[in-house]
Structure 1
Amino acid sequence: MLHTSGKSLFGVTLYALLEPLPLGFFFAAWLFDIIYLQTAVIMWTKSASWLIAIGLVLAILPRLISLIYLFRGARPNEKTHFWLSLLAIVLAVVNAFIHSRDAYAVVPLGVTLSTLVVLLLLIANVQWVLRDRRVQGGRV
């Protein structure tokens, strides 16, 4: 979905393939945190910590690609998407540290951070898609 004029086709393709993956992992971690709240089975919070770690690893390359394009004259919706996603990733790093503690210490801060990460990424993606749709339709 990156604006492709003056950008590498390989970079745009790689970005489009990898961009949705972290959101899926963070969303699954959020669901596991909610399940842990309901069941108190430690497996759920340990699984959530692994999902957060994998999501963070998968978030590195798309953020680097969008950082490069940010300095090459990205459109305003791409800049907003980048900054919201970056803020979500910073919160996810903090969340990974919270989830590394004892399972009982994860609640409520871990659930709150998981919720914020998912919400920020959803807002970033929705505003990006809606803005990109308006631009393509000729109504900037």
Structure 2
Amino acid sequence: MTSQVTSRHSTFAVAVYALFHPVPLGFFVAGWIFDIIYLYSTEIFWTQAASWLIAIGLIIAIIPRLINLVQVWVGVSYPQGSAIKVHFWAYLLAIILEIFNAFIHSRDAWAVVPAGVILSTLAVVLMLFANVQLAVRDRTA
């Protein structure tokens, strides 16, 4: 977010968002890595650990997404293709993919592959894309 936009928002909300925003990405990347390890090792521990990481990441993702929802859609009007809106939609889509991924991971360990790995990969790529495009577009703007 640019400094002009953050000054219009609650300082507490911006601080909480900055604190919790990167945490779900870390959990989802760890879950993705554990899915890949399970793909090659077939040790059930890895898929169970990935399942827990995805669930914890989804729980923690609630707080920054709600704050981001208010910051992007209430009060300040951003242009339709702005970096902040693309970031919001990409993260929302990634979280929806991770919700489906959590359901996939609730199955038997053998049933997780390949759908769990594919969903984890797509969600991580979307979240990384969202962060990179926001950083690049804010830097050039």
TM normalised by structure 1 equals 0.93
* Distance in 2 of aligned mates of 1:117 and 1:33: 13
Structure 2 residue corresponding to 1:126, chosen from 116, 132, 136: 132
Hey, what does 1:43 align to over in structure 2? 45
Q: Identify the residue that residue 19 of structure 2 maps to in structure 1.
A: 17
> Aligned partners of 1:74, 1:14: CA distance in 2, in Å?
22
User: What percent identity do the matched residue pairs reach?
Assistant: 59
1:94-136 deviation digits (Å, cap 9, x = unpaired): 000000000000000000000001000000000011111123x
Runs of 4+ that moved beyond 3 A: none
Specify every segment of 5 or more residues in structure 2 that has no aligned partner in the other structure, as ranges.
none
Number of residue pairs matched? 135
Return the match for 1:104 from 101, 110, 133. 110
Gaps of 5+ in 1: 136-140
* Structure 1 residue 58: Cα displacement: 0.8
1:74 shift after superposition:
5.2
Secondary structure of the residue that 1:7 maps to in structure 2? coil
Q: Aligned to 2:6, what secondary structure does the other structure show? A: coil
| Distance of 1:134 and 1:11 partners within structure 2 | 26
TM-score, normalization: structure 2? 0.92
Write the deviation string for residues 6-45 of structure 1: whole angstroms up to 9, x where unpaired: 1111111111111100000000000000000110000000
Q: Could you say if the C-alpha distance between residues 9 and 96 of structure 1 is closer, same or farther in structure 2, counting changes exceeding 3 Å?
A: same
Asked whether 1:115 is paired with 2:109, we answer no
